[in-house]
Structure 1
Amino acid sequence: MNNCYKVGALTCLLSLLVGCGGSSSKSQPGSSSSSVLKISGDLAPSVNQSVALIATLEHDMSELASIKWTQSSGASVDLSSAHTAVFAFDLVVAGDYSFSVDYTTKAGTRYNETIDFTTQSQLNQLRVRRDHSVREGNKVSFKLSAPTDESGNVVAGEYGKMTWQQTAGPTVTFNSLNTNLMTQLFTAPKVTGDTILTFTVSATHPNGEVFTDQVHLLVQDTVAVEDSLFEKYQDIITAKVWPYNPNSKYANAIVDCVYSNSFTFANRCATAKLPLIGQQTLTPTIDDVMDRVVVSHPWMGDNFKQFLLNEDMSGDFLLLLRSVNAIVLSYDIRPSFYWSATGAIYLDPDNLWLTPAQRDVIDVAPDYRSAFGLDLQYLMRWRYVKHTEYASSFYAPDLRIDRTTSDLIPELGSLLYHELAHSNDAFPSNTFNDISTLSLYDEYAKRSAAKATVSERLLANLPKNSAEMAALALVNFHGDAANQTQKNYSPGDITSFFSNDVAAMEYGYSSIREDTATLFDATMMSVRFGIQRDVAVTDSPENATSETIIVDWGQRGRVNAPGVAVRTRFVLNNLTPDFNSAEIMALLPATQMLPPGFNWKQVLNPDNPTASVKSSIGTKIPQRMVTRPLALDLKVNHR
């Protein structure tokens, strides 16, 4: 970003477009003399600024290149994006800095460029996160950090009079449904070559001063692929990703097989090319798993590995991961999903970040389903709790807060149990020896047609019964329009439909696969981590918060409720045949009712709903109040 409130617009534009003064591109032997490597972006930054250095090579597509930034002088900066064309970091210490970039084209030609600068004396108190590169057609989000004082500490109050203006590049259209000016969402335009877009943001600080910042986006030209399955069926333009372990025996195949726009039905990968982990070993190590990880940023793989090392004390995740061929961790994934077409799971890295700099790179576009069912008169809410408190802390996105791997357990742990329930539904461990050399998609299609998946057998043996809830699931999770009868349903009506049926939560009505997964994830979180899931039917006031919605009916630990427990046991027996399902069921606490007539926050303690509830807004309490958002009943998805 380039903070330009004290310099002219022309100066800012020049600083974006010209390379480092006095330096030159130094190509390796064999490189083309017609191509020039340029560094543009924030070439005269100030202290506390979010800086972007952008590497572009004439007549080359940076999305196909291998890029590495290194720092040779100055106070150390965060290197989370040092492998991308846009190197973004915060400058917190004044002084002299030097950086260089190595750029290797797809053909193997190498270039190098260096940039030196001395920080400016002006102080930046407005920061837009985060300058980055993106493939054309992919989704983009920018966000403001909370207002701070001159030392970088968060202050009371919020920014006022915020404006966003595009000042360079092909015109984009901001998402008109977004009403939060702390963020902006849009789709990257189509381009014919690497193209830099620049946006200027202005806001009034709580101290009354007006500050301005700039943020840059490098839109990368890509090679169009007809019949791309990701674009056609997932509405995804995949981000650029790499094998976490470049020395893995699967490194040359894994990206094309699981997260590439070139993935088509015709070139789907045979299992011999990328088999399930469990086809190679029934007792995988963490290194075996990491050989199957694909990342958009190396820290995502680092954090995932540390989570497995530090938090998977039971070994569940290693065993459950046998049923996938890859784990994809990319900044643009939301919501998380398992896809039978590839055999991989795709995890939203919002569940993985440990530092603010890591969080900065994650796309903040909302789950596309968040606008479904808004004209209904009820809400169904859920949360994970431990000892009458929220199991997880809420970290406001504009605050700069660190986490530990143990902080990830409630969200990443439940997410893994959920997505791996899907993969084990498709390929439980007792099927590994029966998988042929066909693609995993073909193998899954055969099992589904034979109604041999766990979810198909659950449906046949222990089905749900509420036609009303099944129809409402089409509204809440698939985007169908509600009819007048559904619009007229009261919370009491929903209580009658849901409480007398046998689903674990409302999301279980969205598909037979979600029915299975929502029985499994809550069970394992309860037994392994002592974390239980609440589900409740509430009203739907205009301003829905945990203090304004009133519980009509609710339960804690519904997976062990009468009528539901037998289905939970069935899923355990068939989804994880090498787990001790009898022992797991014996460890489940009894289901507890949530008292009606109280708000959602009060029933955290169902035995004493009038008791005060501790704050859970992060390990560092900010200087201002933060409202914890309600969890929608659609956190995860199967595709």
Structure 2
Amino acid sequence: MRAAVLTLSLSLALAACGGGGGAGSTPPAPGPSPTGICASGAAFVVSADTSVDVGKTATAMVAGCAGAISSPVWAQTSGPAVSLLSAKSQAISFDAAAAGTYGFQVSFRDPAGVQQTVPVSITAAAPASPSAVTVRGEPSVFSGGSTSFRMWIPAGVSVSSVRWEQTEGPAVTLNTEDPQRIIFAAPSVGQDTRLTFRATVTLTTGATDSDTQTLLVQALPTPPAGQLFGSSNPASRVYPYRATSPWATQLSNCVYSPALFFNGGTTNLCTMNTLPLLGQETNGAQPTVDQVMNRVLVSNDWMGEVFERFLREQDTAGDFRQMLKATTAIVIGGRVRPSFYWSATGAIYLDANTVWLDAAQRDTVSEVPDPRSALAPNLQYLGLWRYTLNNQQVPFSVPLNSRGARPIEQLRYRLGELLYHELTHANDFMPPAVHLTVNRGVPVFQAIPASLPSDRLAASFPLASQEMFGLARSKFFSPGTTTDLQNAYTPLQVGGTFFANDRATDEYNYAIPPGSTPQTSREDIAMLVAEFFMSYRYGVLRDVGFTNKPAVINSGNDLIVAWGQRGRAGAANIKPRVQQAIGEIAPWLPAGAANTLPAPIQMRAGESWTANTVLPTVPGGSFKLTQLEDFIERDRVEFEWMLNNRNYGHGHWIPPDLRQIQGGLR
């Protein structure tokens, strides 16, 4: 059984709080408790499970009661070794894999700024029967943020039913569309608060088993007027990966802080004198990996470790370091979704789901879905894409219900493609040619040139299909608002006529947020550059296809291709567009680099998306539909529009008041 939670207040007095399930029969759960973790008058509280069953999740946390806790660090002091992937957060959790007493200590600054160190011990005991369920997830979240927990059932265990319930804390609404996972928004709280959830499984034998997971909801200070990371897209907890970085203070204050605001012409966004572009620091030279890592913010150390390893092992040509010169910082977060570049801060924000290498790392990444889930349901076609290598689809994801791992080489396809895309945005808004000449006394968005590479691309090689522009407006920015004419379009009309006769490489090339002036797609250049680099560096080719839209899709065999191509960026009428784009975005490449793109291969109309994996030979191969987030490019453009209907500048959100400022919305 999981025993009572051990709580230590400022006076280090002991008190029993909370409770939970364990192996064997589970009694009915009590209703959510309104009482908080903080005792009356306490400045802080350290809380932990006193004991758990082997095979269950153990949790410990430090809560601020009279104010915020800062600089928390957990360390294990005794017992069977565990990996603390959230060691620099206010809460930790781990699987108790072996019996014994696990000792820890947490060091932090309390609300008065006094350094504290408090010991914690958790005992794990062997249960009467093996564990049939373990709950995992990141054990802390900012007030108002969304998060998730997943129950994991061992292979070979036969389950007849599962149940989730909340047993402590302010009640929240649980999304259980996936029965083995809950997604919910943390309550808005004025003081650090503990929530507890129980997952119970009933086996086909009639026996039951349960596990609990405790969550610390961290209170935030009163938001400033004009808060930039507000309730609809709140900042999540991050910290400088390198505490000794010369930019650590600026990163904490300038990039992903709930304190950032723009209100009535007043802002605390940092200027480039305070936090310069990476290329300004290097005076235009290619940054070293160490210089890049000095600009990284993470929500868990492993994210920085994997990213650094990726740069050292996979960025052998230096493309990513060259492109990162246009940024001020790199944020990698377990609750950043979707990934985006933002000209307000000059930083890129990466979803840690693109970075993890093993199941334990993925446990710390929220499963809250990309908010853009309504993809024009009344249209009669699907627009699909994938990357292929030697007639096989390159792996982009691991099934959510699998505790699989992936080698770092695999990250080149997902993280690499994402970086090429988002860093093209950064180098579009702040082109390499201007890094050393712009006014550094203003924030990045105010220094953006009047004419961008994407503007010049649209002037030299404009996209012509008004039908595709209209579909992109409906599909990416106003889901569910397609017209009767659009709803009547067939897959062959869209793919074989509107799209095939123009010179875009994907539907997303046509994406222009409503209200943007000039009406230039910033996604067009990003899609071209990313597809080029994936072919140029990794030899993978991008498929784009238009298929039917059956009511039920079991596999790619159900999707019949009306029109499609592999490697469309290599088409004769598209290569000049690619060459102009990379000439401005990646000037270190040799002249004529776009000529390395192979000619496109036509898909076989009338055959399935699966069958068209192998081109141009006999049908074969295999294809497994990826998650929705892998079908649509994860970019903040439509994310912000759908959530807030806000104004935009240069394809990315600029606060409405910035419309009147030079370099804002044009």
Q: 2-side partners of 1:156 and 1:198: how far apart?
A: 25
Hey, what does 2:510 align to over in structure 1?
A: 509
* Alpha-carbon offset, residue 205 of structure 1: 4.2
1:440-451 equivalences under 5 Å are 440-445=443-448, 447=449, 450=450
Residue 251 of structure 2 is aligned to residue 254 of structure 1: yes
Matching residue of 1:622: none
In the alignment, the residues of structure 2 paired with residue 537 and residue 38 of structure 1 have an alpha-carbon distance, to the nearest angstrom, of 57
Q: CA deviation at 1:118?
A: 2.9
2:388 to 375, 378, 385: 385
**CA pair 46-315 structure 1, distance change in 2 beyond 3 A:** same
For residue 300 of structure 1, give the secondary structure of its aligned residue in structure 2. Answer: helix
Rounded Cα–Cα distance in structure 1 between residues aligned with 2:237 and 2:382:
38
Give 1:6 deviation, angstroms. Answer: 4.1
CA displacement 1:313-365 (0-9 Å, x = unmatched): 11111111111010011111011000011100011110111121111111111
Q: In the alignment, what sits opposite 2:174? A: 174
- Counterpart of 2:145 in structure 1 is 138
User: Over residues 535-566 of structure 1, what are the superposed CA-to-partner deviations in whole Å (9 max), with x where a residue is unaligned?
Assistant: 10011111223221111111111111132212
2:324 is paired with a residue whose SS is helix
Q: State the partner residue of 1:100.
A: 105
Change (3 A) 1:100 1:16: farther
* 1:453 corresponds to: 452
Counterpart for residue 23 of structure 1: none
Instruction: Give the deviation of 1:634 after TM superposition.
Output: 2.7
Mean Cα deviation higher: 48-57 or 267-276: 48-57
SS at match of 1:114: strand
Cα displacement string for residues 143-171 of structure 1 (whole angstroms, at most 9, x for unaligned residues): 222x21xxxxx3386x5422221121111
2:434 equivalent to 1:436: no
Partner of 1:284: 287
CA distance, structure 2, for counterparts of residue 44 and residue 107 of structure 1: 31
Per-residue CA deviation, residues 479-537 of structure 1 (Å, 9 max, x unaligned), is 34111111111111211111111111111111311111000001001010111111100
Which region of structure 1 is more displaced relative to structure 2, 434-443 or 552-561? 434-443
1:162 equivalent in structure 2: 162
Q: Give 3-state SS (helix, strand or coil) of 2:126's partner.
A: strand
Shift of 1:68: 1.4
Q: Equivalents in 1 of 2:507, 2:447: separation in Å?
A: 26
Please state whether the residue corresponding to 2:121 is helix, strand or coil.
strand
The letter for the 1-side match of 2:549 is S
- Please report how far the alpha carbon of residue 456 of structure 1 lies from its aligned counterpart in structure 2 after TM superposition: 1.1
- The answer to whether the 8 A contact 1:79-1:89 is kept is yes
Matching residue within 595, 619, 623 for 2:604:
595
Per the alignment, residue 632 of structure 1 pairs with 631
Distance 1:138 1:531, change over 3 A: same
Equivalent residue number for residue 133 of structure 2: 126
Structure 1 CA distance for aligned equivalents of residues 99 and 66 of structure 2 = 36
Q: Structure 1-normalised TM-score?
A: 0.88
Q: Please name the residue that 2:93 is paired with.
A: 88
Cα distance in 1 for residues equivalent to 2:393 and 2:146 = 32
Q: How do 1:265-280 and structure 2 match up within 5 A?
A: 265=262, 266-280=267-281
Structure 1 residue 43 displacement after superposition:
2.1
Q: Counterpart in 2 of 1:621?
A: none
Q: Per-residue deviation at 1:402?
A: 2.2
The residue matched to 1:380 in structure 2 has which SS? strand
Q: Is the 8 A contact 2:31 2:166 kept in 1?
A: no
Q: How far apart are residue 194 of structure 1 and its match?
A: 0.9
* 5+ residue gaps, structure 2: 3-19, 513-520, 638-651, 653-666
What is the total number of aligned residue pairs between the two structures? 599
Going from structure 1 to structure 2, the CA distance change for 1:456 and 1:207 (only over 3 Å counts) comes to farther
Determine the C-alpha separation between the residues in 2 that align with 1:165 and 1:142.
Answer: 12
1:74 and 1:378, CA in 2 relative to 1: closer, same or farther beyond 3 A?
A: same
- The partner residue of 2:184 within 186, 189, 192 is 186
How far apart, CA to CA, are the structure 1 residues paired with 2:59 and 2:188?
Answer: 22
Residue 40 of structure 1 is matched in structure 2 by 47
Deviation of the 1:17 alpha carbon? 9.6
Structure 1 position 258, deviation (Å): 0.9
Q: What stretches of structure 1 of length at least 5 have no aligned partner?
A: 20-32, 149-153, 617-626
- Partners of 1:250 and 1:292 within 8 A in 2: yes
**2:345 alignment partner in structure 1:** 342
Q: Tell me the percent identity.
A: 33
Tell me the equivalent position of 1:26: none
Counterpart code for 2:49 = D
Q: In 2, are the aligned partners of 1:17 and 1:40 still within 8 Å (CA)?
A: no
Shift of 1:38: 3.6
Shift in Å, 1:441 = 3.5
Post-superposition offset of 1:609: 4.7
Cα distance, 1:229 vs. partner? 4.4
The CA distance in 1 between the partners of 2:204 and 2:25, in whole Å, is 23
TM-score between the two structures when normalised by the length of structure 2: 0.85
Give 3-state SS (helix, strand or coil) of 1:54's partner: strand
Q: C-alpha separation between the residues in 2 aligned to 1:223 and 1:15? A: 24
One-letter amino acid matched to 1:463: P
Q: Report if the CA contact (8 A) 1:202-1:211 is conserved.
A: yes
The separation in 2 between residues aligned to 1:299 and 1:210, in whole angstroms, is 35
Q: Partners of 1:13 and 1:79 in 2: how far apart?
A: 31
Corresponding residue number in structure 1 for 2:500? 499
Partner residue, 1:462: 461
The alignment status of 1:406 with 2:409, answered yes or no, reads yes
Letter paired with 1:239? S
One of 236, 240, 244 as aligned partner of 1:243: 240
| SS of equivalent to 2:589 | coil
- Pair 1:41–1:493, CA change in 2 (3 A): farther
* Contact persistence 2:32–2:170 (CA under 8 A): no
Name the CA distance, whole Å, in 2 between partners of 1:497 and 1:36: 64
Residues 145 and 234, structure 2, Cα contact 8 Å, conserved in 1: yes
Aligned equivalents of 1:205 and 1:498: distance in 2?
Answer: 52
Letter of the structure 2 residue corresponding to residue 139 of structure 1: S
Counterpart of 1:68 in structure 2 is 73
Residue identity opposite 2:241 in structure 1: Y
CA contact (8 A) 1:165 1:199 kept: yes
Pairing of 1:224-243 with structure 2 (within 5 A): 224-231=222-229, 235-243=232-240
Q: Aligned-pair RMSD on alpha carbons?
A: 2.7
Deviation for aligned residue 1:3: 3.9
8 Å contact 1:336–1:348 — kept in the other structure?
A: yes
Deviation per CA, 1:5-49, whole angstroms, max 9, x where unpaired?
Answer: 547769999999999xxxxxxxxxxxxx96465433432111111
Q: Give the whole-Å Cα distance in 2 for the aligned partners of 1:602 and 1:116.
A: 56
Which residue in 2 is equivalent to 1:571? Answer: 581
Which deviates the most, 245-254 or 8-17? 8-17
Does residue 312 of structure 2 align to residue 312 of structure 1? no
Aligned to 2:641: none
* 1:4 aligned residue: 22
| Aligned-partner Cα distance in 2 for 1:207–1:541 | 38
Q: CA deviation at 1:91?
A: 1.4
Give the secondary structure class of the aligned counterpart of 1:103: strand
The answer to whether the 8 A contact 1:165-1:200 is kept is: yes
Q: How does 1:527-566 map to 2 (within 5 A)?
A: 527-544=536-553, 545-566=555-576
Residue 399 of structure 1, CA deviation? 1.9
Q: Give the structure 2 partner of residue 620 of structure 1.
A: none
1:439–1:418 Cα change, 3 Å: same
- C-alpha contact 2:30 2:167 (8 A) present in aligned 1: no
**Given that residues 43 and 67 in structure 2 are in contact (C-alpha distance below 8 angstroms), is that contact kept between their aligned partners in structure 1?**
no
Distance 1:394 1:130 in 2: 19
Report the Cα offset of residue 465 of structure 1.
0.8
Residue by residue over 1:84-122, the C-alpha shift from the partner in whole angstroms, topping out at 9 and shown as x without a partner, is 121111111222221222222254312222223431221
Are the equivalent residues in 1 in contact too, given 2:339–2:349 (CA < 8 A)? yes
Pairing partner for 1:52 from 40, 47, 59: 59
Query: Would you say 1:477 and 2:440 are equivalent positions?
Result: no
